[in-house]
Amino acid sequence: MTWDELDAHLDTLPGTVSAYAGRLDAAPTWTRHPDASHYAASTMKVAVLLALHRAAEAGTLDLGAPVAVRNRFDSALPGAPRFANDRDYDNDETVWQREGATAPLRWLAERMIVRSSNLATNICLREVGLPAVARAWQLAGARHSVTGRGIEDFAAREAGITNLVTAADLAALLGGLAAGATRPGPLATPAACAAMLDVLHAQEFREDLAAGLPDGVPIAHKNGWVRGVRHGAGVVYPPDAPPYVLVVCTTTDLAEGEGADDDACRLLADISARVWAARHDLTAAD
């Protein structure tokens, strides 16, 4: 199937499917609505991870320091009451078992990615601050993505304060981390970028983009889903071709949002398999 044929197939599906596929440091080989905005779901957690590591490098945060695991957070809406996360809506019971005690910030950042813990995410946001996350997006070259509030900050959500991503912006963020691990770049030092990639490689939810790859192929990625939304963003490291970035964002009725296995999840796996099959033909860097 050619890229045009894939686009024609995606045109028949409900909602909006955005995509970006291309090698690092090269023009993308295939894009589809790359600047369309989608609700971010958990993909915004990569920008939080970057903000944390940047603060650690600047000396304003210590990733090894214990922080309080408290389920009470300030709303992004001025004057709104504090809010709390719903334990039943989280994917990581391990963090909740630390509630009332402390945990190292680095460990919380890892749980935020590998198990997509909402409680860990809001604690990390509390420590680093939303302006630092906005700066992380800016340094990545993001043009449309915003992280305006924490997870389950319903007062802010009702006031129109939200979290948005685009396929192109997620590709810039993930691609920037991958490139930054091999040479100095604008996001963080090579050591910090490599450390963040290690966390993304350890992702435990592997039902979408990773499911479209042969067993054992490394992918540093983050996914996210709620009802009506399913996204996957990552860097794939083939053993026989240069690394490439793949992002698929969907806002569609195919995303049931109550588990990993739905039609949107399978769609991402199928697109990932098709890009993998074309890995030798992706546009090379100049």
Tell me the pLDDT tens digit for each residue of 76-98: 999 999 999 999 999 999 999 99
Token code pair at residue 150: 């924490």
Contact call for residues 229 and 39 (beta carbons, < 8 A): yes
- pLDDT of 264 > 90? The answer is yes
Mean pLDDT of the chain: 96
The single residue listed with the structure tokens 């793949």 is: 246
Of 66, 123, 115, 126, nearest to 93 by C-alpha is 115
Mean pLDDT of 117-124: 98
pLDDT (tens digit per residue) in 6-32: 999 999 999 999 999 999 989 999 999
The confidence score (pLDDT) of residue 286 equals 62
Q: What's the start-to-end Cα distance of the chain, in Å?
A: 26
pLDDT tens track for 149-177 = 999 999 999 999 999 999 999 999 999 99
Please report the domains of the chain, with CATH numbers, ordered by start residue.
3-281 (3.40.710.10)
DSSP 49: H
- Predicted local confidence at residue 284, as pLDDT: 78
pLDDT band at 261 (very low <50, low <70, confident <90, very high): confident
The structure tokens 């894009």 sit at 31
Tokens of 173: 């963020």
